């Protein structure tokens, strides 16, 4: 960004039970010029601190004495005052089942321990993209007039996506919790972009893509799939079904911007 805030301006709450780990992460942040960092050791301490002093970003471990990182971000998303605060997980946890709730809650990044400094910087730049609105720049379309349908069975994920797109200047955003609900909405109104998850009940993302591409008024509408799915064969089938672009959860803000600009202007 040429103007506005930078990563050096961010206020960060670090939730880490290990004093040694807190110091290591704080040292990395200070080396990047970030000096507004508070540290706490438990989830309850984090929630109390956030209510009094809402940070720009919560960087959290996975396990505390009183709860897990998954429970912390879920608690945050359930409180109106904390629901939209960006969340980053820093953990050695690798089991997909344990990470799934965190991914679905809408997080800026999941960094391993130890993490690479470049990955940390990317997560902080993503945070800036959420904290300070920056409209999507399009050549042939007005961002405010675009009609977007978000399809995801996770209410937390839908909220995060809605917040992300709103920060890019998108104003007309509808939601569906299943592919079946999405099909019903597609029959009632027009959309310029469809954003869908893969794993959903009733009708998954692949089946939704196949249904849309079969014909009708939305047969050529761009479809962006934002998913935790890692199975290469399943993702290959989604590509064959006609998805326009694939994006991981959590995603890079600049990558999503590039996808949207290419899909909509294209």
* 153 in the same domain as 47: no
Does 89 fall in a domain?
yes
Q: Which of 131, 161, 195 is the last residue of a domain?
A: 131
CB 140 within 8 A of CB 265: yes
* 157 in the same domain as 115: no
The beta-strand segments (E) located in the chain are 12-15, 37-40, 57-60, 87-90, 109-111, 147-151, 172-176, 193-196, 223-227, 245-248
Q: What pLDDT score does 3 carry?
A: 54
Query: What is the reported pTM?
Result: 0.84
* 162 in the same domain as 91: no
Q: What pLDDT score does 2 carry?
A: 44
Does 244 fall in a domain?
yes
* 124 in the same domain as 15: yes
Average pLDDT of each block of 10 consecutive residues along the chain (266 residues)?
76 97 96 96 98 97 97 94 94 91 90 92 90 86 94 92 92 95 94 95 94 93 93 94 94 89 88
Does 1 fall in a domain?
no
Among candidates 197, 188, 190, 113, which has minimal Cα distance to 153?
197
Q: Which of 106, 131, 156 is the last residue of a domain?
A: 131
Q: What is the CATH number for 48?
A: 3.40.50.2300
* 261 in the same domain as 151: yes
Does 25 fall in a domain?
yes
Q: Which of 101, 131, 161 is the last residue of a domain?
A: 131
Q: How many other C-beta atoms are found inside a 10 Å radius of the C-beta of residue 131? A: 18
CB 187 within 8 A of CB 212: no
Question: What range defines the domain where residue 46 resides?
Answer: 7-131
* 196 in the same domain as 110: no
Q: What pLDDT score does 1 carry?
A: 39
The pairing of strands 57-60 and 193-196 is unpaired
The count of structural domains within the chain is: 2
Tens of pLDDT along 29-66?
999 999 999 999 999 999 999 999 999 999 999 999 99
* 147 in the same domain as 84: no
């Amino acid at each position: 960004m040429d103007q506005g805030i930078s990563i050096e301006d961010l206020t960060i709450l670090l939730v880490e039970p290990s004093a040694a780990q807190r110091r290591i992460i704080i040292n990395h942040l200070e080396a990047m010029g970030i000096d507004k960092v508070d540290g706490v050791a438990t989830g309850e301490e984090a929630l109390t601190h956030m209510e009094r002093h809402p940070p720009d970003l919560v960087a959290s471990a996975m396990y505390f004495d009183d709860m897990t990182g998954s429970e912390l971000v879920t608690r945050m998303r359930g409180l109106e005052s904390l629901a939209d605060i960006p969340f980053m997980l820093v953990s050695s946890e690798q089991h997909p089942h344990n990470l799934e709730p965190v991914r679905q809650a809408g997080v800026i990044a999941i960094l391993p321990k130890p993490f690479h400094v470049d990955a940390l910087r990317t997560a902080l730049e993503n945070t800036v993209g959420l904290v300070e609105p920056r409209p999507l720049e399009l050549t042939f379309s007005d961002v405010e007039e675009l009609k977007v349908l978000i399809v995801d069975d996770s209410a937390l994920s839908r909220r995060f996506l809605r917040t992300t797109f709103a920060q890019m200047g998108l104003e007309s955003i509808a939601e569906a919790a299943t592919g079946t609900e999405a099909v019903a909405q597609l029959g009632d109104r027009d959309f310029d972009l469809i954003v869908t998850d893969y794993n959903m009940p009733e009708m998954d993302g692949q089946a939704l893509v196949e249904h849309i591409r079969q014909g009708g008024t939305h047969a050529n509408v761009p479809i962006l799939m934002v998913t935790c799915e890692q199975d290469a064969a399943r993702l290959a089938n989604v590509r064959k079904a006609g998805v326009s672009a694939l994006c991981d959860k959590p995603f890079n803000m600049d990558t999503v911007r590039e996808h949207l600009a290419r899909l909509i202007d294209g």
